[in-house]
Chain A
Amino acid sequence: MEKVLKIVKVIAITIIMLLIIAIGFFGVYAKYNGVWNNILPEYNLGMELAGYRELHFELDSSEETKDIFVDENGNYKGDVATGKEEGDTSTEEIATEKNYKIENRTIAANDSDKINIENFEKTQKIIQKRLEKYDSYEYNLRQDSVTGKIILEILDDEDVDLNASIVTTIGKLSLVDTETGVILLDDSNLYKASPFSNTSENGEYQVYLGLEFDQTGKQILKEITEKYTKVTDKDGNDISKNIDVRLDNQTIISTHFQDTISSGTIHVPIGASTTDYSEYLELLNNVKEVSDIINEENMPLQYKVTEQAKIQSIITENVRNNIIIVCAILILVISLYIIIRYKLEGLRQAILNIGYLASLTILFRYTNVAITFNSLIALVGVVVVNYIFAIRFLNELKKVNNRKIALKTTLKGLYLAIVPVVIIAVIFTFMSALVINSVGMTLFWGLLLQLLFSLITLI
């Protein structure tokens, strides 16, 4: 009876393995709108395998002649607002109040004395810092040390425009008088920018950009909030003076203040409130990215996008199919060797090994493990470890003729030897770079699944 039960168990496991192999390597197809589609999630491919977008940036050489506010030292203090001229009452008032002059100057996007190799290096470092704030970042950054031209190679996804803005955004935050254009407060007095959110009673999410200023900024902010407050005339018309919160020359919001703020912190609402959680998360993420840009040093140079192209991977479908065929032949040869040498036990182990590889492919789809050249090398590593386990287990089983003892001995010998690999798997998984964490996750899931599959050998 026990023998029959064991045979049934073995047959059941073999059938399950064959099913997993079929699903893992061929997928599960369902008809949708008359078309058969694989319902398994797609692999998450890295740049080398998915192709990438190549963005070219050059130094912005544009110039603009305009009226600007300058302080007593000749420092720039804001553009005179469009439609305003020297002589305009509000412009004159604020210039007098701040002890500024109005001058007509030609302002270049990049001063010629700033175009040097030190600033090229600085720019590159800032861009790298910004890109590396992302989880699972992957990019190649090239810079011409003579012309300063930059080429950014990144994954071609919905974040391409955002990534482009990482290079083109200087990161200068300013609070500007909407009417006159004078800069009231800027990021030289900013302590920290951070994302905030709250949820209203009716379940609406609102995202804010939190700006915390230093002691000097706190005092200036208090004065601003006292002056730029809600005012209505005798007919009830809103005649409030507004300020613009700007990032570079883009206005994030134009607003006035309800109350005087003496804490030195303002929360700038970003976008409309929403009940859609995924929309809220996306906005929160965007605001976090903007905060990171503001908190970092400003870019010393202004760049503009000049060109972009989508470059496909060198691993074409043809190359991929050839690699799959070679791997399949290799696995077949090794499986045949195991079957010939170890007979029925060998056949069982060979099916388990192939099932292990198929399970890994399914697991990678569902756990979103990134497939990069590095992770493919790690994948080969865990498959090799699995085969080493199989052969050692079969040898041990031949010696001791007891599955439990054979398994215990094999696992102990193998896993004590690969402790460094386990350590690498854990450490690498927590790194932000995709080329690193893809290795960690491949090793982690590969070794975990290998342990699980090794327990199946007990049955």
Chain B
Amino acid sequence: MKLSGSKKILLLGIILLIIAGIVVVALKGVKVSLILQQHEEINIYIGKPTNLKDMKDICKEVFGNKQVIVNDLDVFKDAYSISVESVTNEEKDELINKVNEKYGVEITLEDISEKTISNIRVRDIIRPYIKPVLISAILIAVYMIIRFRKENALKLLGKIAGIILLTEAVIFSVIAVLRIPLSAIMINIMAVIAVVELCTYIYKLESKTVIKAEKYK
């Protein structure tokens, strides 16, 4: 298959990106979202109705550039669960001071609880998907072999598998190189892209089949 100059450059770029992705993953591993990785969880009970946005602003001031997620604890809006990569004693003191200042309360270190939350293994997130994706892939392959039996089935399947794998490898490499945190939503979006590519490919094959049929008419 002869490629034009610009396509050659594009392919080279893709290959280099994938290699870069492999190197980064080999050296540094995959960066996962805060909720999936091991992190600290601070539960803080303020004792009076407060605002989640205000709490988020306080946490931004205290923890700076660290990944932080703030959730309401229960429905009374007077307690929060703060998930953060790591927390120092100074940051804890600063958090308490800012909360006391903001809400006019007098909470102390004893009023907050801190726990280390272990990671969720990525394989545990992916495990429920393996069986249904495999079964679906097999059935889709069987459908394509039957539907496009007049074409070279292996070549067809090989081509679409290649396109999907290449796209997923590129997306994954971009995520790895840019150190974008991998989350369940990212994995789902990658799956959606694969399905859209597959449907687009089948649509093009169907259009070709229709054009061929009309030619023979």
Contact = CB atoms under 8 A, between A and B. Distances in A.
Interface of A: 51, 56, 128, 140-145, 149, 151, 307, 309-314, 316, 318, 373-374, 377, 381, 413, 416-421, 423-424, 427-428, 431, 433, 435-436, 440
Interface stretch (B84-92, B98-106, B112-120, B167-175): B112-120
A433 B128 contact: yes
Contacts of A417: 199-200, 202-203, 206
Interface in B47-95: 52-53, 69, 71-75, 81
A450 to B, nearest CB: 15
Nearest to A140: B120
18 contacts: A144-B116, A151-B118, A311-B71, A311-B72, A313-B71, A316-B52, A316-B72, A373-B185, A417-B206, A419-B143, A419-B147, A420-B143, A420-B195, A421-B195, A421-B199, A431-B128, A435-B128, A440-B132
Given A309-B81, A310-B73, A423-B139, A377 B188 contact: yes
Interface residues of B, number: 39
A311 B188 CA distance: 24
Interface of B: 43, 52-53, 69, 71-75, 81, 115-120, 124, 128-129, 131-132, 135-136, 139-140, 143, 147, 184-185, 188-189, 192, 195, 198-200, 202-203, 206
A142 B192 contact: no
B177 to A, nearest CB: 25
Nearest to B74: A310
B117 A428 contact: no
Contacts of A314: 69, 71
Given A310-B74, A373-B184, A419-B140, 13 more contacts: A141-B120, A142-B119, A309-B43, A311-B72, A312-B71, A374-B184, A417-B200, A417-B202, A418-B199, A420-B198, A423-B139, A428-B136, A433-B128
B83 to A, nearest CB: 9
B199 A149 contact: no
8 nearest A-B pairs in the assembled complex, by CB-CB distance:
A417-B203, A312-B72, A433-B128, A142-B118, A144-B118, A427-B136, A420-B140, A416-B206
B118 A431 contact: no
Contacts of A149: 118
Contact of B135 (A142, A381, A427): A427
Contacts of B140: 419-420, 423
Contact of B206 (A318, A413, A420): A413
Contacts of B206: 413, 416-417
Contact of B188 (A140, A318, A374): A374
B132 A142 contact: no
A145 B198 CA distance: 40
Given A416-B202, A420-B140, A420-B198, A312 B132 contact: no
Nearest to A431: B132
A307 B143 CA distance: 51
B211 to A, nearest CB: 13
A224 to B, nearest CB: 42
A162 to B, nearest CB: 21
B103 to A, nearest CB: 19
Contacts of B72: 311-312, 316
B71 A381 contact: no
A433 B128 CA distance: 7
Contacts of B131: 431
Contact of B115 (A56, A377, A433, A436): A56
B199 A427 contact: no
B138 to A, nearest CB: 10
Interface-central residue, A417, A418, A436, by most chain B CB under 10 Å: A417
Nearest to B185: A373
A51 B75 CA distance: 11
Nearest to A146: B118
Nearest to B75: A312
A318 B54 CA distance: 14
Contacts of B71: 51, 311-314
A143 B119 CA distance: 7
Contacts of B147: 419
A310 B75 CA distance: 9
Contacts of A413: 203, 206
A149 B192 CA distance: 36
A219 B206 CA distance: 68
A381 B73 CA distance: 33
B199 A309 contact: no
Nearest to A423: B139
A128 B139 CA distance: 28
B146 to A, nearest CB: 11
Given A312-B71, A377-B188, A420 B128 contact: no
B43 A424 contact: no
A381 B196 CA distance: 10
A435 B147 CA distance: 31
A313 B52 CA distance: 12
Contacts of B117: 142, 151
